[in-house]
Chain A
Amino acid sequence: MVDFIHDNYAYWAIMLLLVIGLYGMLMKKNLIKKLIGMVIFQNSIIILFVTAAYKWGATVPVVDPGRSTDEIANYLNPLPHTLMLTAIVVGVAIVGVGFAIVISIYRNFQTLEEPELLERMK
């Protein structure tokens, strides 16, 4: 039982973050809060990849003179780290564009509450 929790608790925390992100996007009526939910969702997926890349007994993918690069058990797989590095940058770009759209909505309708927006769009 302790082993089961020890092997999986990181994934449970990430899944909790995913559900919180989806909750923010589904239930909140304010567009800024929806964006915050999206950022939580995005970052929990980044944490999921970095967690999955971990293996016991390995070190970070920076060559250490004391550890042979021929033995793959010595180093973490660098591919997920690289992919998530680029995902973080795309995430920042998405948040920037999202805020730009939110600001232009606010300029047009003077509100960010979803029911009021739907009312004014009629």
Chain B
Amino acid sequence: MTNPSQSPIVIVVSRSLARVIQLFGIYVIIHGHYSPGGGFQGGALLAAGILLLRMTEGMEGSQVELPTALAMPTAALGALLFAVTGMAAWIGGGNFLEYAGLPIPGVEAVWLRHYGILVVEVGIGLAVTTALVSIFDDLVGKGDHG
């Protein structure tokens, strides 16, 4: 599965399809406030886009999308973004993850919570995308000569 596909049709179609899937994944993350969606679902869609290229272009050819060595550090970054957003609420006098205490002046508490949720969802999306890609790379990557 790590070798690139021999058929040019498969590669061309999967390249254009992967962009549509990734765009839809970003839409699902950003639009999670108004319609069913959010970080987990959008992250799974973004990972699906990358995994499609991993299967058709091969492990070497799709390293440009997300290098295997960079996957787990980015997942840690996503979880850290979540935790740091929670800690930033301490500055404004709130509890951990109480977004109304985020230190942004001139924004009402309701909208602080609105944008706090958005930042947290992006963190979740980042973590889920890269963790799924990393699991796939570990399962498939070097299985034959391990």
Contacts and interface: CB of A to CB of B under 8 A. Distances in A.
Interface of A: 60, 62, 85-86, 88-89, 92-93, 96, 99-100, 103, 107
A100 B128 contact: no
Chain B interface extent, by class: 10 to 19
B36 A89 contact: no
Given A62-B35, A93-B131, A99-B139, 7 more contacts: A62-B36, A85-B40, A89-B40, A89-B128, A92-B44, A92-B132, A103-B139
A103 B40 contact: no
24 contacts: A60-B36, A62-B34, A62-B35, A62-B36, A85-B38, A85-B40, A85-B41, A86-B40, A88-B40, A89-B40, A89-B128, A92-B44, A92-B132, A93-B131, A96-B132, A96-B135, A96-B139, A99-B139, A100-B135, A100-B138, A100-B139, A103-B139, A103-B143, A107-B146
Nearest to A102: B139
Contacts, number: 24
Contacts of A92: 44, 132
Interface of B: 34-36, 38, 40-41, 44, 128, 131-132, 135, 138-139, 143, 146
A87 to B, nearest CB: 11
Contacts of B131: 93
A89 B124 CA distance: 11
A120 B60 CA distance: 36
Contacts of A88: 40
Contacts of B138: 100
Contacts of B146: 107
B7 to A, nearest CB: 27
The 4 closest A-B pairs by CB, nearest first: A96-B135, A89-B40, A99-B139, A107-B146
A62 B35 CA distance: 7
Contacts of B35: 62
